[in-house]
Amino acid sequence: MRQEVSEKRGFPRIPVSLTAHCRIGNRYVKDAVADLSEGGLYLKTREPAREGTPVRVALALPFVDGPRYCTLVGEVARVDRDQRGVLRGLGVSFGSVAQNGDREALTGFLRREQ
């Protein structure tokens, strides 16, 4: 199943150790981000959500000269559960609409991490 998902992605995902402050639908959570790309991220969360649920993610991306903050907007693209049906996380796909500074911060961080 992971292989099928990766074939749908337009951008390679980079493993990261970041914390995201998210609004998932009308709920707020603070959870770990396992991987990140220009097109989305994987959020390790137990917060239930359905595919298509709107997501707003605020990240502090580490740079040499200090963190750069960005806010990205998207939706739940995949709900990840283990064999017992326990929620492990959410795959979030970013929309194409992002403020230039936010998109530039994300792109700069990802280029440095590759």
Please tell me the predicted confidence (pLDDT) of residue 97.
56
Whether 98 has a pLDDT exceeding 70, the answer reads: no
Sign of the C-alpha dihedral, residues 61, 63, 69, 70?
negative
- 2-113 topology per CATH: Thrombin, subunit H (2.40.10)
List 56's β-bridge partners, or say none.
23, 73
Q: What pLDDT sits at residue 9?
A: 59
pTM of the predicted protein model: 0.87
Name the CA dihedral angle for 49, 51, 56, 57, rounded to a multiple of 10 degrees.
80
Residue 101's φ and ψ, nearest 5 degrees, are -65, -40
Distance CA 36, CA 93 (A): 10
pLDDT tens, residue by residue, 45-95: 999 999 999 999 999 999 999 999 999 999 999 999 999 999 999 999 997
- The single-letter code of the amino acid at 99 is Q
Q: Where are the domains of the chain?
A: 2-113
Tens of pLDDT, residue by residue over 5-29, are 445 657 889 999 999 999 999 999 9
